[in-house]
């Protein structure tokens, strides 16, 4: 006999639960997304209904993660749509500037209130300037991402790089769009809005590419990031002094890979889900661990954020301080990377991470000619050996600073580095491989795939695109089966959700 | 159309002997024109033409053609 539907349970599933957002990869998301696709298909010839239904589903998706703070998202959309127009229609540069500053203050003020109030109260308290109890402030998930997305719209209008969009409906879809509302990519209005206007049909190539991206995302997140985190990284990161230096070093490599697979896995899934809905989102990664300098790394990692800060913070500052030449650039780098750290959250480890990266870049800038002279004298400039040395140093700087993202506090990071340099014990390595064989294989596999030439990924993607749909379905089923084998009973939230 | 004078200023600053600078050429296509050199080029142009750009004006210039138009608007002769 068919079982009756438990409406109470269904209602609970569909109600806001801050600990249970609609994670890509969860079975509830799968049902939700299938339903969204069916509705989109039903309205394939009615653009307006397709967009309105997508707005509704996006709002539901956000409600499931943030509850009543859904209104903050709606406010952000309404406010920035109106202020975009207001900036554009002002007659004088002065008026434009005033309206723009108000828009900036409101956007950053809201972000600051929800994200940083307690951090500043804590600083005041630490500096003995007063003891104020921390406030009960709920952090609306994704606020850093959608605020920056909305800000790009008003900034580009102010910079006269974009004209305001006429339709509030279309602008709202840009802000609410569920594949990127919680964790990016931080898409630009100038790239997203024309896609709504053009309304291009979804091609077979889009479907193949989406399946490839979603498969990669699932493997990265659930088979690599979560597995190595739960089974090894966390244990070392939580108690670095209980492990030898060699294990700490492997955890350093593992945590960097975990961070990359977690975030780029989410981005892959977001891109794939977006493609299946007919929208191309901005890519966020270009093999960051292949970087041969810290500057190169920022051209490969979290591109939607780094290009945002480059275009709207670094360049304006650098230009306004140009009379100071290199020192002006150094100040612009410092401010930009302080913002990178702060954007990630109200935590000293993040700020320290940003400041450290700014020092690497400033140091690189001031020593550029000295380094060139040295490598010229050694006759290694531009050689493969030179490339390797640059990569080796960059890679280790990156993985060591990445620990700041995973450690509970600065002290834990210091402990890990101390263990590596003072208690290395390489003889433990075979025992580690024996005890954590799967973890070891996954770390090696993750890095191997990462360092493969980009052409290999392209070929694999084209292979999936050209496959008959039946084979694509079989392949996707196999990927899901693999992921289920790895997936732990308790799902791990995506690391970047907290930002 | 990029003037010979502007070409000369840019190539000298980048220490390039020859490079075909067109209206649609963007900074990242030109060897050595990175974010650090960008500032040196802007300063060199300001000095050579005796003009001063506003920050927003430079940010709006998408390619060398835009830069040429900006210079022309400040220096009509």
pLDDT-derived band at A374 (thresholds 50, 70, 90) equals very high
Instruction: Tell me which CATH code domain B4-74 carries.
Output: 1.10.1200.10
Q: Averaged over A475-479, what is the pLDDT?
A: 93
In the block, tokens 């940083």 appear at A116
**CB < 8 Å to B39, chain A:** 318-319, 322, 325, 328-329
Mean pLDDT of A173-182: 96
A10, exposed or middle or buried, with CB in 10 Å at 0-12, 13-18, 19+?
Answer: exposed
Question: Can you give the residue ranges of every domain in chain B?
Answer: 4-74
Kindly list the residues from chain B whose CB atom is less than 8 angstroms away from the CB atom of residue A307: none
Question: Which residues in A lie closer than 8 A to residue B55 (C-beta atoms)?
Answer: 316, 319-320
Q: Does B28 touch chain A (CB under 8 A)?
A: no
Q: Which residue has the higher pLDDT, A291 or A346?
A: A291
Whole-angstrom Cα distance, residue A315 to residue A336?
A: 10
pTM of the predicted model over 0.95: no
Measure CB to CB from residue B59 to each of A315, A322, A365 and give the nearest one: A315
Half-sphere exposure of B10 (CA within 13 A, CB side): 24
Distance of CA A270 to the CA centre of its chain: 11
Q: How high is the pLDDT of residue A23?
A: 83
Tell me how far apart the alpha carbons of residues A79 and A99 are, in angstroms, rounded to a whole number.
12
Estimate to the nearest angstrom the gap between the alpha carbon of A381 and the chain centroid. Answer: 35
Residue A84 near residue A168 (C-beta atoms within 8 A): no
Is residue B26 less than 8 Å (CB to CB) from chain A?
no
* pLDDT average, residue stretch A174-189: 95
Q: How far apart are CA A387 and CA A481, in angstroms?
A: 40
Give the C-alpha separation, A307 to A313, whole Å. 10
Measure CB to CB from residue B59 to each of A319, A322, A325 and give the nearest one. A319
Strand, helix or coil at A350? helix
What's the rounded Cα separation, in Å, for the pair A496 and B6? 46
What mean pLDDT is predicted for residues A300-320? 95
pLDDT per residue as tens digits for the range B30-70: 998 988 889 999 999 999 999 999 998 999 898 999 999 99
Contact call for B56 and A314, based on CB within 8 A: no
A324 in contact with chain B, both atoms CB, cutoff 8 A: no
**CA R_g for chain B:** 11
Question: Mean pLDDT for chain A?
Answer: 92
Residue of chain B minimizing CA distance to A311 = B59
- Would you call A161 and B60 a contact, using CB atoms and an 8 Å cutoff? yes
Enter the DSSP assignment of A348. H
pLDDT band at A490 (very low <50, low <70, confident <90, very high): very low
pLDDT for residue A489: 46
* CB proximity under 8 Å: A 298-317 to B: 310, 314-316
Non-local (6+) Cβ contacts of A270 within 8 A are: A24, A179, A180, A183, A184, A185, A217, A281
Q: What's residue A10's pLDDT?
A: 81
Q: Which of A227-236, A297-306, A383-392 has the lowest mean pLDDT?
A: A227-236
pLDDT at A20: 81
CA of B62: which chain A residue's CA is closest? A161
Q: Which of A322, A326, A329, A365 to mutate to test the interface with B (most CBs of B within 10 A)?
A: A322
Q: Does B39 touch chain A (CB under 8 A)?
A: yes
CA–CA min distance A365, chain B (Å): 8
CB pairs under 8 A between A and B: 34
Q: Is A450 helix (H, G, I), strand (E, B) or coil?
A: helix
Q: Which residues of A touch B59 (CB under 8 A)?
A: 159, 315-316, 319
Q: How confident is the model at residue A492 (pLDDT cuts 50, 70, 90)?
A: low
> What's the ipTM?
0.90
pLDDT given for residue A104 in this prediction: 97
Distance from CA of A451 to the nearest CA of B (A): 25
DSSP string, A284-335: --S-GGG-SSHHHHTTTSSHHHHHHHIIIIIHHHHHHTGGGTHHHHHHHHHH
Cα–Cα distance for residue pair A333/A354, rounded to 1 Å: 10
Mean pLDDT of A77-106: 97
Residue A329 is nearest to which of B36, B58, B59, comparing CB atoms? B36
CB contact under 8 A, B40 and A325: yes
Q: Does A371 touch chain B (CB under 8 A)?
A: no
Q: Is A159 on the interface with B (CB under 8 A)?
A: yes
- A-chain CB neighbours of B13 within 8 Å are none
pLDDT tens across A227-278, in order?
A: 999 999 999 999 999 999 999 999 999 999 999 999 999 999 999 999 999 9
> CA A214, A218, A224, A227: dihedral to nearest 10 degrees?
170
Six-digit token string for A42: 């039903």
pLDDT at B77: 52
Q: Which of B39, B55, B60 sits opposite A329 (nearest CB)?
A: B39
Least confident of A408-412, A484-488, B57-61: A484-488
Whether B36 and A329 have beta carbons less than 8 Å apart is answered as: yes
What is the rounded end-to-end Cα distance, in angstroms, of chain A?
47
A314–B39 C-beta distance less than 8 A: no
- A320 and B43 within 8 Å at the Cβ level: the answer is no
Residues of B in contact with A160 (CB under 8 A): 56, 60
């Amino acid at each position: 006999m068919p079982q009756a539907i438990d409406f109470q349970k269904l209602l609970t599933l569909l109600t806001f639960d801050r600990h249970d957002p609609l994670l890509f990869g969860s079975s509830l998301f799968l049902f939700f997304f299938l339903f969204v696709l069916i509705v989109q298909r039903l309205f394939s010839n009615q653009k307006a209904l397709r967009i309105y239904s997508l707005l509704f589903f996006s709002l539901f998706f956000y409600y499931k993660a943030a509850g009543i703070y859904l209104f903050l998202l709606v406010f952000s959309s309404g406010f920035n749509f109106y202020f975009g127009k207001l900036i554009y229609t002002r007659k004088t540069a002065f008026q434009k500037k005033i309206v723009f500053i108000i828009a900036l203050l409101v956007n950053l003020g809201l972000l600051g209130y929800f994200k940083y109030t307690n951090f500043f109260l804590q600083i005041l308290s630490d500096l003995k300037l007063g003891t104020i109890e921390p406030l009960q402030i709920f952090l609306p998930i994704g606020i850093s991402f959608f605020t920056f997305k909305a800000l790009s719209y008003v900034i580009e209008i102010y910079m006269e790089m974009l004209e305001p969009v006429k339709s509030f409906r279309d602008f709202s879809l840009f802000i609410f769009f569920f594949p990127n509302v919680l964790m990016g990519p931080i898409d630009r209005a100038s790239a997203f809005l024309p896609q709504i206007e053009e309304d291009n049909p979804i091609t077979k190539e889009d479907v193949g590419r989406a399946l490839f991206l979603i498969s990669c995302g699932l493997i990265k997140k659930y088979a690599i990031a979560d597995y190595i985190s739960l089974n090894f990284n966390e244990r070392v990161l939580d108690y670095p002094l209980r492990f030898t230096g060699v294990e700490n070093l492997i955890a350093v490599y593992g945590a960097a890979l975990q961070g990359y697979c977690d975030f780029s896995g989410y981005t892959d899934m977001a891109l794939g889900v977006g493609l299946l809905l007919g929208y191309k989102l901005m890519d966020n990664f270009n093999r960051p661990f292949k970087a041969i300098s810290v500057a190169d790394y920022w051209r490969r990692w979290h591109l939607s954020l780094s290009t945002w800060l480059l275009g709207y913070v670094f360049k304006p500052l650098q230009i306004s301080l140009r009379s100071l030449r290199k020192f002006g650039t150094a100040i612009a780098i410092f401010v930009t990377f302080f913002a990178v750290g702060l954007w990630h959250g109200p935590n000293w480890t993040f700020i320290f991470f940003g400041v450290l990266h700014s020092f690497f870049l400033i140091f690189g800038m001031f020593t550029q000619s000295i380094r060139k002279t040295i490598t010229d004298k050694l006759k290694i400039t531009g050689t493969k050996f030179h490339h390797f040395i640059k990569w080796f140093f960059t890679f280790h700087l990156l993985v060591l600073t990445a620990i700041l993202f995973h450690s509970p506090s600065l002290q834990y990071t210091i402990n890990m580095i101390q263990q590596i340099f003072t208690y290395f014990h390489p003889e433990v390595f075979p025992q580690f491989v024996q005890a954590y064989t799967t973890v070891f294989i996954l770390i090696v596999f993750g890095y191997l795939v990462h360092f493969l030439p980009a052409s290999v990924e392209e070929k694999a993607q084209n292979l999936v695109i050209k496959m008959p749909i039946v084979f694509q379905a079989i392949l996707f089923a196999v990927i899901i089966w693999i992921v289920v084998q790895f997936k732990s009973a308790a799902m791990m939230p995506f690391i970047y959700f907290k930002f | 159309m990029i003037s010979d004078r502007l070409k000369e200023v840019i190539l000298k600053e980048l220490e390039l002997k020859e490079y075909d600078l067109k209206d649609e050429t963007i900074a990242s296509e030109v060897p050595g024109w990175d974010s650090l050199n960008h500032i040196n080029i802007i300063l060199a142009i300001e000095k050579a033409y005796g003009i001063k750009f506003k920050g927003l004006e430079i940010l709006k210039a998408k390619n060398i053609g835009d830069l040429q138009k900006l210079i022309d608007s400040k220096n009509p002769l």
